[in-house]
Structure 1
C-alpha cells in the first residue's frame, strides 16, 4: 500500500487551482447521470440525489425507483426520465440500456434491503462500461461490504457515513477518519469521502473543514452523493469531484444557517445553494 500523504485542507484557493471542467455545447456534453435506488417508502432519497446532480452541473438526469413511486417522482422532477423497477426489484431491459449509456451511475440512495440491492448492483454495474464513473452510497455500500466484486468500475467514489464505513472495514472506524478513508480507498481501489476526509488509493488525502452539525440531517448524505455524481458528469475526475462536493455540501449548509439556525435547515434546502456555492469559488 502506498504511503499516505499529509492531508491538505480543501479551501477556495485550493479549488481555484483545481478548476472544474466547464464543457461547452448541449446537455449531453455535461454528462448523463443515472441514479438508482428509492425503495417503496423512500423515493425521496433519489429525488434529492438526482436534483443535486443537476444543481452541480450534470446535463441529463435519469432516475430508477420502485415501480409504485415512478409516476409521482416523474411529476416531482420533470427534468428527469424516471423508470420503475419490476415487481421483484429487478431492472428491466430499458434500465440496463440506460446503464450502458450513462456517463455516471449513482447507486444506493433510499434502498432498504441488502439482497435486492446486491441484485440491482450486479445487473446495473454489469451492464455499464468499465470506465463509467460510479458513486456508491447508503445500502450500496452495505452490499459492497458483503461482496467487494460488485464494483468492477475503475472510476468510483464511495461516500460512507460512519456506520457504513464500519461495515466496509469490518470494525469501528475509530478516531482517525483520515486513516479509515485511506484504508477503504486502498481496499476498494476507489476514492473515499468520509465525513470530510477524502482519500485516493494512491495515498493522496484532503480534509474539508467547513462542515457543521446541521449537515447531519435526514437526506443530507443523498445530496452529497448527488453532487459528486453531477460533478463527475460534467467531467471532473473522482478525487476532484469528491473534494469539490465536500466543499459545496458543507458551505451550502453554512449559507443556510443564518436563516434557519445551525440545525434547522432541511436537506432539500441545501440543493438551491449548491450552484452559487460552486460559482463563488
Structure 2
C-alpha cells in the first residue's frame, strides 16, 4: 500500500458543512430521527453510551435485546425503546427486523453494533437491516462491521468506524501494516467496501470510496477509554439525523467527540475521564461550532 496525502479536518473545514438550521418554531421532528440498535446482556452500557450521545444531537429510538431493553428505558426516559428477540448466544435474531419495519420509512440515521454479541447470527440481522433501511445513513460499529467480511455490498451512505485491530480483522491486513499506513488502509477499505471508513487512532483518517480523505489530529489519550467509540458512533448518527450527509456527519462527530474529550481533560487531566461524561459536553460544543460555521 502507498500513502498519499489527505486533507486536514479542522473547525475551518466544518464551515463548508454547516448544520442544517433549526428555525425558532422547530419541534423535535426538526432534529431528525436516529435509531440505535445496540447492546447485549453482557454489554448493555455500550447501547446506553451510543444512545445518549445520539440523543444530544437528534431524536432517538433504541432497539435492544429484550433482557436489557427495560433497563435502557429507565436509564434514558426520553427515548422510545423497542425490545427485540435474542439468539441463544445473546445476539440479535434476524426475526427482530420485523418489529423495526414500521419506522424504516423516513428514518434519517441508523447506528448498529455497539455491544453486540453472537457475531454470525447478528451479522445476518445487520444484513437484513441494511436492506430494510437502505434510505438511511447507517453507522456500523463494533461487531456490526463484520458484515463487510462477506463482500462489498455497502454504499456511500454507510459509515464504518474501526480501530486498528478491528481494521486488521475486517481487511485481513496485519495490524502492524494498518498502524504504519493508516491512510492507505482506510482508503483501500473504503474503495473495496464501497463505504465511508473512519479509521480511529491517535490520528483519525476518514476515507471515501472515491479516494478523497481527511485526517483529524486533535484527539487526546483520554479518548482511548472503554466506551469512547460507542459515543462517537452515536454522535455521527445524531448529526446524520440532523440532515448532514454521511461524510459531513462523520466529520462533525469526530471533531465534536475530540473537543468533548479536550474539555474534560482541561478539568480532570489528560487521562481518567469516562466515556459517559463525553455526551454532557456536546450541546455547548455544538452551539459554539454552529455559530462559528455560519456565514
Same fold (TM over 0.5): yes
Gaps in structure 1 of 5+ consecutive residues: none
Deviates more, 1:85-94 or 1:193-202: 85-94
Q: Distance in 2 between matches of 1:241 and 1:228?
A: 5
Deviates more, 1:193-202 or 1:165-174: 165-174
1:12-23 aligned at under 5 Å gives the runs 12-23=11-22
Q: Deviations over 1:156-178 (max 9, x none)?
A: 11111111111221112141211
Segments of 4+ moved more than 4 angstroms: none
Q: Distance in 1 between matches of 2:269 and 2:150?
A: 39
Name the SS of the counterpart of 1:272 in structure 2. helix
- 1:190 and 2:195 correspond: yes
2:272 to 264, 267, 272: 264
Q: Distance in 1 between matches of 2:144 and 2:152?
A: 11
Q: 2:292 is matched with which residue?
A: none
Q: Distance in 1 between matches of 2:195 and 2:189?
A: 8
Q: Distance in 1 between matches of 2:263 and 2:229?
A: 17
Deviates more, 1:116-125 or 1:214-223: 116-125
Q: Distance in 1 between matches of 2:64 and 2:231?
A: 17
Q: 2:143 is matched with which residue?
A: 139
Name the SS of the counterpart of 2:190 in structure 1. helix
Q: Deviations over 1:94-114 (max 9, x none)?
A: 223233442211110100221
Q: 2:255 is matched with which residue?
A: 247
- For these two proteins, the number of residue pairs brought into alignment is 274
1:280 to 267, 282, 288: 288
Q: 1:217 is matched with which residue?
A: 225
Contact map agreement 1:53 1:226 (CA 8 A) in 2: yes
Q: 2:129 is matched with which residue?
A: 124
Q: Distance in 2 between matches of 1:104 and 1:143?
A: 18
Normalised TM-score (structure 2): 0.87
Q: 2:46 is matched with which residue?
A: 45
Measured on the aligned residues, the alpha-carbon RMSD in Å equals: 1.9
Deviates more, 1:113-122 or 1:246-255: 113-122
Normalised TM-score (structure 1): 0.91
Q: Distance in 1 between matches of 2:42 and 2:50?
A: 16
Q: Distance in 2 between matches of 1:207 and 1:107?
A: 24
Contact map agreement 1:23 1:234 (CA 8 A) in 2: no
Contact map agreement 1:22 1:234 (CA 8 A) in 2: no
